[in-house]
Amino acid sequence: MHGKEYNKKQNRHYPVAVLPKLMVTKKATWYLGKGGCFFCFLSFQMLRKYIKAEKTAPTTVSQVRCCKLGDFQLYLGQDYFARDCGGEVCCTKVNIYYGGRGVIEDPTIYVLNKMTEVLKELRVEVNRYNIYEDRSAISTLPATLKGVDGIILGTTVEWFGIGGYMQQFLDMCWLYADKQQISRTYMLPVVMATTYGERDAELSLVKAWEMLGGIPLTGLAAYVENTDQFEKNDSYRMIIEKKTESLYRSINQKMMNLPTSNLAVKTNILKTRTIELTPQESEQLSRFASNENYVRQQKEDIEELSAMFKQMLSGGEEPAPEPESRAGEPYAKLPDDDKEDHNPVIDAFMEHYRPDPTFNASYAIIISDRDQILHLEATTEKLKCFYTGSKEADVILRTTSKVLQDILNGRTTFQKGFMAGEISAKGNFKTLRMLDSIFSFA
């Protein structure tokens, strides 16, 4: 057994092994420290008994003293590590993420409750998050990792794997979490199974946390056939408590793991396709992803565009066969000049205009091979069609005289020309799509 002497002024620790041992009692080992101070070493069990008896635990350096022992200073050594932060002992923070369904018979709930009790007895700040309670906010959970020393990932194997909630949480950590924070965060997996597969699920959590860059610890994995018998078994309870104490010891002693091949693969081979964002940008993006109104609006926009392109790709608007009177002779030929009097192109647009009582828009069609700009102003009652030198319009199209002539002759449409790459457009897609609705050349 060994401990360390705490030097408050220099904020350093010295091995207690170099200090002269005064006496050994059943509860502690006492040492004579520098400056005449007496230090003692307590185990977890004695510390928890002390907290239960006093109804509190030492929270400041000045309070780290043994009861009724005057100047005898209590040092909570290797098993209970007191960190000095400006006169305050830094409180260890642990988050618990439960990925089960929250059913009453879930053995994982019992294990997490018992671990919470032990951690609180050790004056650890514990925050628990039941993922199933707010599914829409899962994308914001990675932000709760900020400032924590360790986490516990608890899930239940009911038929296969770690379950959807836990998998979704890990996915959000991959997308939005601060990887620097994860790199110094310890993770203890807790997997209770009512069927086969608890070891595989535990390994999945460990591998996932390694791929995220965190520090995984050996966890708890068990097959529970009868929940009542499992909860009443004192041996199982002691195992849970010991594992929780081990988590606390690993966090406070900053224990390191040996390098693994998973880390090497992540560093040298794995090429992530995620967008490189700062922690602040990732947190903001996670808020957008959890905003139901924002996501709904984005989905509606995507669905509208998808419907438009599906119709365009499926050829939903098949051109009608050309009238016999036009066979072998194009309906309109583009003029060599830009005179508007009896212009066949302008006449064709004017003749086939079908006004929409709820639609107004302007179009500028750039005929690239003739260096002309045809301007269309569609209103609820009439159409204005003329050549101009201005490109200002709601939608700007660029095409050739041949493609425009095919449209006027009913051989194709504006949408099909756009999908085929024969027409380039700039502006609102919905407004562009309306061209085939207000002009019927087929």
Per-residue DSSP letters for 284-348? HHHHHHH-HHHHHHHHHHHHHHHHHHHHHHHT-SPPPPPPGGGTTS-S----SS---TT-HHHHH
Which of 6-20, 118-132, 367-381, 399-413 bottoms out in mean pLDDT, i.e. has the lowest? 6-20
Which pLDDT score is estimated for 204?
Answer: 95
* Per-residue pLDDT at 272 exceeds 70: no
* Per-residue pLDDT at 426 exceeds 90: no
* Per-residue pLDDT at 286 exceeds 70: no
Residues 161-172: what's their mean pLDDT? 92
Which pLDDT score is estimated for 195?
Answer: 92
* Per-residue pLDDT at 351 exceeds 70: yes
pLDDT tier for residue 86 given thresholds of 50, 70 and 90: very low
Which pLDDT score is estimated for 307?
Answer: 74
Instruction: Please list, in sequence order, all residues whose beta carbon lies within 8 angstroms of the beta carbon of residue 357, skipping any fewer than 6 positions away.
Output: 380
Residues 188-213: what's their mean pLDDT? 94
pLDDT digits (tens, 9 = 90+) for 87-130: 344 578 999 999 999 998 899 999 999 999 999 988 899 999 99
Question: Is 324-438 in the same CATH topology as 92-284?
Answer: no
pLDDT tier for residue 185 given thresholds of 50, 70 and 90: very high
* Per-residue pLDDT at 442 exceeds 50: yes
273: how many CB neighbours lie within 10 A of its CB? Answer: 4
Instruction: Please list, in sequence order, all residues whose beta carbon lies within 8 angstroms of the beta carbon of residue 344, skipping any fewer than 6 positions away.
Output: 331, 332, 333, 334, 335
**CA-CA distance, 29 to 53, in Å (whole number)?**
20
* Per-residue pLDDT at 439 exceeds 70: yes
Tokens of 148: 């924590």
pLDDT digits (tens, 9 = 90+) for 240-271: 999 999 999 999 888 888 888 876 766 666 55
**Mean of the per-residue pLDDT values of the chain:** 75
Which of 30-44, 141-155, 209-223 bottoms out in mean pLDDT, i.e. has the lowest? 30-44
Which pLDDT score is estimated for 80?
Answer: 38
- CATH of 92-284 among 3.40.470.10, 3.40.50.2300, 3.40.50.10860, 3.40.50.360: 3.40.50.360
* Per-residue pLDDT at 346 exceeds 80: yes
The answer to whether 424 and 438 are in contact (CB under 8 A) is: no
* Per-residue pLDDT at 281 exceeds 60: yes
Which pLDDT score is estimated for 74?
Answer: 42
pLDDT tier for residue 28 given thresholds of 50, 70 and 90: low
Residues 137-144: what's their mean pLDDT? 89
Domain ranges (residues) in the chain: 4-88, 92-284, 324-438
Q: Choose the most confident range, by mean pLDDT, from 55-64, 75-84, 159-168, 257-266.
A: 159-168
| CATH architecture of the domain covering 324-438 | 2-Layer Sandwich (3.30)
Residues 329-334: what's their mean pLDDT? 46
> If we measure between CA atoms, which residue out of 58, 28, 68 comes closest to residue 45?
28
Instruction: Please list, in sequence order, all residues whose beta carbon lies within 8 angstroms of the beta carbon of residue 148, skipping any fewer than 6 positions away.
Output: 93, 94, 95, 181, 185
**CA-CA distance, 326 to 323, in Å (whole number)?**
6
Which of 67-81, 231-245, 334-348, 424-438 bottoms out in mean pLDDT, i.e. has the lowest? 67-81
pLDDT digits (tens, 9 = 90+) for 314-330: 655 444 444 343 433 44
**CA-CA distance, 25 to 289, in Å (whole number)?**
58
**CA-CA distance, 191 to 156, in Å (whole number)?**
6
For the question of whether the overall pTM of this predicted structure is more than 0.75, the answer is: no
